[in-house]
């Protein structure tokens, strides 16, 4: 498939900020399931503010990380991503992706992905009677999908995996956090992946700006599971960056210095150009 | 016999009358020694490094001594060196007792220690460079994968990055105890930001002021080259993008930190700025310092802030102490952080057991300094031994610190030992055990005159384009008779540490 992506993030500040520091994970990594045909990230700011590109590097997880600073007075910062990516359906298996972080490093929980008794029980119940690690991973993803109904607006950015499961509702970020916590209960390394999803016509729950989970399956490596949609990742998915939770994997992390409060607008369009 | 405890607080120990009858081969060297090694007197005779102090000690009248002691305290108070070492807590304004009787090493004794410490510092750095790259030592099966990669101090954010000259830990503090003329044991390594070096420098300074004659009569190797060597070491690890004389700063958490005195002291000696997080900012590919003459680029940051707090964008978002965006600049070669984030995985308690293996694996040498024999309860044989000798051993949680979750066998009641036995049996992998150690003693001024008191040692090894060790270190002394507690919160004090040139 060839997908065209247009992703715009607009930060507005009600009072001028002295400066903004951002870390971008906005470049699709090259692997067998995807390859960028064209890709462009542009940062602009209001008149009077200055955008200074920072250092860039490929991190241990294989993601391109780009620093960016904006010298104020900043009232508006716009991060625009446009590009075209050719994708292949690899049945979720991440192959040909250069990375150095050992899978075991993903077994350590973060505040958002600490498991509780309920998550342990969910994981143990899902695994019962199954032998192969891949079956365990599939069973976990199904169990999380069944336990957490897709509902927008009930959870927040800081909602934890345990809170989500107790609530029984959430969005893709929450599904991912619960699945990561559950996988770790079975000693399976798991990580959060942020990226894009091409909208399907059937009307199943989805967001163009999406998140899912990769679980380390012995013998296969990292395999993508989208618990929100009950599938393994395929050629409709474009992978941007990963981390142990949503915060670590965020396409844009930023801190603004100044008295103002921030208003955020994100628009993402993913279009199918060629089947 | 004594008990030595590693952990967040330096260590403490208690006297014990009976000599243990344990049969553990690894413990023999330390456990079966009935007497403590006295560094000055051996079988009634004065050991030669202390010859120069014999007369000095004998000739000093009591009144003169109290006068000098009062003068020393006044000096310490005036310069304001009152911090607690190693995050022990307690009153940060408390004065550390200073004992005027120096601890002395002969040149040949020191040479061996020096080679041992340098060897260890090299091996620890090789280990860090390895586990953040290909992990050969893990692949070779010498260090268990989980111990490294699931370790809390293992920092995934720096995997794949090689800091300048491959150095992760630029200042390695190695805590040593002595149990005999040629027997030294490493209690623990400190690869992050070991503190206490200001005591090493100040103790010498004050001794030279109090007793200038001693420094004329004895050939004592100077330690005041430390600050210049530290500056040189930091300059030698300038980042890839720095093409000029590197600008160095010390980053402190602030005046409320217990080691703030040391931070400002070292900045002053090196002639570099002491900054807090709010004095620095990231712009573009570099880190800048706010000054009255506008921003100045910073190339090397000797940071005395923990990993978790140095960059709220990368690590703890609630940190007010760090610099947002610092890690991006670091990883893209715009600034050097000393020590490197993630260096803590090398001084972890569980990793400690493998340092001798690191020396053999990376350097192809036999370790010069020994570890304290450690039984790992995860191993069946070790577990059996530990359970059979629980009353004689110190047992610690692998990931515990600050003396929590620990059993000091000889100091515990039968009931406490039995309770701990159950905990070990439930989760053996969580515990390690070590024998009691007979710490050496050094003459120390006490109320009645001079008496032996137990000591240990922390030398500071610098690692940059070369690996160096200033001839000296911080000697800590248990001021109470019979006590093996050198910890300052337990009444421990400090001494000047001499290395004789000839």
DSSP state string for A162-220? HHHHHHTEE-HHHHHHHHHHHHHHTT--EEEEEEEEPPPTT--S--SEEEEEEEEETTT
Asked if the Cβ–Cβ distance from A247 to B145 is below 8 Å, we say no
Residue B78 has a pLDDT of 79
Residue B81 has a pLDDT of 64
B335: nearest CA in chain A? A55
Asked if the Cβ–Cβ distance from A23 to B313 is below 8 Å, we say yes
Asked if the Cβ–Cβ distance from B329 to A54 is below 8 Å, we say yes
Q: Are strands A34-45 and B375-376 parallel, antiparallel or unpaired?
A: unpaired
Bond into B377 cis (ω within 30):
no
Structure confidence by residue, pLDDT tens digits, A9-30 = 999 999 999 999 999 999 998 9
A184/A92 Cα distance (integer angstroms):
19
Cβ atoms of B497 and B200 closer than 8 Å: yes
Instruction: Please provide the distance, in angstroms rounded to a whole number, between the alpha carbons at the two ends of chain B.
Output: 33
Helix intervals (H) in A94-185: 117-127, 133-147, 161-167, 172-185
| Residue B42 at interface with chain A, using a CB cutoff of 8 Å | no
Asked if the Cβ–Cβ distance from A23 to B333 is below 8 Å, we say no
| Residue B228 at interface with chain A, using a CB cutoff of 8 Å | no
For B290-424, strand residue ranges (E) read 296-298, 300-303, 336-338, 370-371, 375-376, 394-397, 406-408
Token pair belonging to B235: 């300059």
Residue with tokens 């940062």: A43
Asked if the Cβ–Cβ distance from B313 to A105 is below 8 Å, we say no
Residue B22 has a pLDDT of 34
Q: List the single residue in B132, B283, B317 with the smallest CB-CB distance to A69.
A: B283
Q: List the single residue in B133, B317, B325 with the smallest CB-CB distance to A67.
A: B325
Asked if the Cβ–Cβ distance from A59 to B160 is below 8 Å, we say yes
Cβ atoms of A73 and A49 closer than 8 Å: yes
Residue B437 has a pLDDT of 82
B330: nearest CA in chain A? A55
Q: Is the Cα torsion angle B82, B83, B88, B90 positive or negative in sign?
A: positive
Give me the interface pTM, i.e. the ipTM.
Answer: 0.94
Q: List the single residue in B146, B150, B284 with the smallest CB-CB distance to A54.
A: B284
User: From the CA of B326, how many Å to the nearest CA of chain A?
Assistant: 10
Residue B331 has a pLDDT of 97
Cα dist. B237→B110, B185, B243, B464 in Å? 27, 30, 12, 6
Residue B487 has a pLDDT of 66
Residue B324 has a pLDDT of 96
Asked if the Cβ–Cβ distance from B324 to A104 is below 8 Å, we say no
Residue B86 has a pLDDT of 45
B29/B433 Cα distance (integer angstroms):
16
Stretch A112-118: mean pLDDT: 96
CB pairs under 8 A between A and B: 96
User: From the CA of A22, how many Å to the nearest CA of chain B?
Assistant: 7
User: From the CA of B152, how many Å to the nearest CA of chain A?
Assistant: 8
Q: State the best of A55, A104, A189 to mutate against chain B, taking most chain B CBs within 10 Å.
A: A55
| Residue A82 at interface with chain B, using a CB cutoff of 8 Å | no
User: From the CA of B335, how many Å to the nearest CA of chain A?
Assistant: 11
User: From the CA of B147, how many Å to the nearest CA of chain A?
Assistant: 10
Q: State the best of A67, A71, A101, A247 to mutate against chain B, taking most chain B CBs within 10 Å.
A: A67
Structure confidence by residue, pLDDT tens digits, A74-112 = 999 999 999 999 999 999 999 999 999 999 999 999 999
Residue with tokens 């506008």: B294
Per-residue pLDDT of chain B (502 residues; tens, 9 = 90+): 333 333 333 333 333 323 333 333 333 333 333 478 999 998 889 998 999 898 888 888 888 888 998 898 888 877 766 555 444 445 555 667 899 999 999 999 999 999 999 999 999 999 999 999 999 999 999 999 999 999 989 999 999 999 999 999 999 999 999 999 999 999 889 999 888 899 999 999 999 999 999 999 999 999 999 999 999 999 999 999 999 999 999 999 998 887 888 999 999 999 999 999 999 999 999 999 999 999 999 999 999 999 999 999 999 888 888 999 999 999 999 999 999 999 999 998 789 999 999 999 999 999 999 999 889 888 899 999 999 999 888 888 876 554 556 787 877 788 989 999 999 999 888 888 988 788 899 999 987 788 899 999 999 999 999 999 999 999 999 888 777 667 665 668 899 999 998 7
Q: List the single residue in B152, B282, B332 with the smallest CB-CB distance to A69.
A: B282
* Domains contained in chain A, CATH given: 2-86+251-274 (2.60.40.2250), 89-249 (3.10.620.30)
Q: Are strands B300-303 and B248-251 parallel, antiparallel or unpaired?
A: parallel
pLDDT at A202 > cutoff 70: no
Asked if the Cβ–Cβ distance from A60 to B135 is below 8 Å, we say no
Q: State the best of A69, A188, A242 to mutate against chain B, taking most chain B CBs within 10 Å.
A: A69
Paired strand residues for A191: A214
Asked if the Cβ–Cβ distance from B328 to A55 is below 8 Å, we say yes
DSSP state string for B258-290? TTHHHHHHHHHHHT-EEE-GGGEEEETTEEEE-
């Amino acid at each position: 498939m060839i997908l065209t992506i247009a992703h715009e993030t607009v930060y507005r500040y009600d009072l001028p900020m002295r400066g903004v520091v951002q870390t971008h994970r906005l470049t699709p990594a090259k692997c067998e399931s995807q390859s960028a045909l064209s890709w462009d990230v542009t940062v602009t700011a209001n008149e009077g503010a200055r955008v200074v590109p920072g250092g860039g590097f490929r991190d241990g997880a294989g993601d391109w990380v780009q620093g960016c600073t904006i010298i104020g007075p900043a009232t508006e910062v716009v991060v625009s991503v446009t590009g075209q990516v050719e994708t292949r359906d690899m049945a979720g298996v991440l192959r040909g992706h250069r990375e150095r972080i050992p899978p075991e490093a993903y077994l350590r929980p973060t505040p958002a992905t600490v498991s509780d008794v309920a998550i342990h029980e969910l994981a143990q119940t899902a695994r019962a009677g199954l032998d192969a690690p891949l079956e365990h991973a599939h069973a976990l993803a199904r169990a999380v999908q069944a336990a957490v109904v897709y509902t927008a607006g009930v959870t927040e950015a800081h909602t934890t995996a345990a809170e989500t499961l107790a609530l029984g509702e959430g969005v893709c970020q929450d599904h991912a956090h619960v699945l990561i916590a559950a996988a770790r209960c079975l000693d399976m390394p798991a990580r959060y992946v942020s990226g894009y999803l091409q909208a399907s016509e059937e009307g199943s729950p989805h967001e163009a700006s999406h998140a899912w989970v990769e679980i380390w399956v012995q013998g296969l490596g990292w395999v993508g599971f989208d618990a929100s949609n009950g599938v393994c990742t395929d050629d409709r998915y474009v992978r941007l960056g990963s981390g142990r939770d949503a915060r670590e994997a965020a396409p844009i992390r930023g801190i603004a210095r100044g008295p103002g409060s921030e208003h955020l607008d994100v628009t993402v369009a993913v279009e199918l150009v060629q089947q | 016999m004594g008990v030595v405890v590693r952990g967040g607080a330096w260590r403490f120990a208690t006297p014990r009358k009976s000599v243990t009858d344990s049969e553990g081969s690894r413990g023999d060297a330390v456990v079966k020694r009935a007497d403590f090694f006295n560094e000055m007197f051996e079988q009634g005779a004065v050991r030669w490094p202390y010859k120069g102090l014999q007369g000095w000690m004998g000739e000093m009248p009591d009144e003169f001594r109290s006068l000098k002691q009062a003068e020393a305290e006044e000096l310490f108070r005036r310069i304001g060196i009152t911090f607690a070492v190693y995050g022990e807590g307690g009153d940060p304004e408390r004065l550390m007792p200073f004992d005027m009787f120096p601890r002395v090493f002969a040149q040949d004794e020191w040479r061996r220690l020096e080679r041992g410490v340098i060897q260890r510092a090299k091996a620890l750095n090789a280990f860090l460079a390895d586990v953040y790259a290909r992990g050969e030592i893990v692949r070779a099966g010498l260090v268990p994968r989980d111990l490294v990669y699931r370790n809390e101090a293992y920092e995934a954010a720096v995997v794949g990055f090689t800091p300048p000259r491959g150095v992760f830990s630029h200042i390695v503090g190695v805590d040593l105890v002595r149990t005999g003329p040629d027997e030294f044991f490493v209690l623990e390594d400190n690869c992050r930001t070991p503190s206490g070096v200001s005591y090493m420098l100040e103790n010498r300074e004050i001794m030279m002021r109090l007793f200038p004659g001693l420094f004329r009569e004895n050939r004592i190797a100077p330690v005041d080259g430390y600050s210049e060597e530290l500056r040189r070491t930091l300059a030698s690890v300038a980042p890839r993008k720095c093409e000029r004389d590197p600008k160095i700063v010390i980053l402190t958490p602030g005046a409320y930190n217990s080691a703030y005195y040391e931070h400002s002291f070292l900045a002053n000696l090196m002639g570099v700025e002491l900054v807090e997080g709010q004095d620095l900012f990231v712009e573009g590919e570099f880190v800048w310092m706010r000054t009255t003459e506008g921003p100045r680029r910073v190339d090397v940051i000797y940071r005395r802030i923990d990993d978790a707090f140095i960059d709220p964008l990368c690590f703890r978002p609630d940190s007010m102490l760090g610099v947002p965006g610092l890690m991006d600049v670091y990883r893209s070669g715009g600034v050097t952080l000393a020590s490197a984030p993630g260096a803590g995985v090398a001084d972890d308690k569980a990793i400690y057991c493998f340092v001798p293996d690191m020396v053999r694996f990376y350097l192809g040498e036999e370790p010069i300094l020994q570890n304290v024999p450690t039984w790992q309860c995860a191993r069946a044989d070790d577990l059996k031994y530990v359970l059979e000798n629980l009353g004689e051993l110190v047992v610690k949680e692998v990931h515990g610190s600050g003396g929590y979750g620990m059993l000091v066998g000889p100091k515990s009641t039968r009931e406490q030992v039995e309770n701990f036995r159950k905990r070990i049996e439930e989760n053996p992998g969580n515990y390690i055990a070590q024998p009691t150690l007979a710490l050496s003693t050094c003459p120390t001024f006490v109320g009645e005159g001079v008496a032996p008191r137990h000591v240990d040692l922390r030398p500071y090894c610098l690692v940059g384009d070369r690996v160096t060790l200033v001839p000296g270190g911080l000697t800590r002394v248990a001021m109470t008779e019979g006590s093996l507690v050198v910890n300052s919160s337990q009444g421990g004090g400090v001494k000047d540490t001499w290395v004789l040139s000839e």
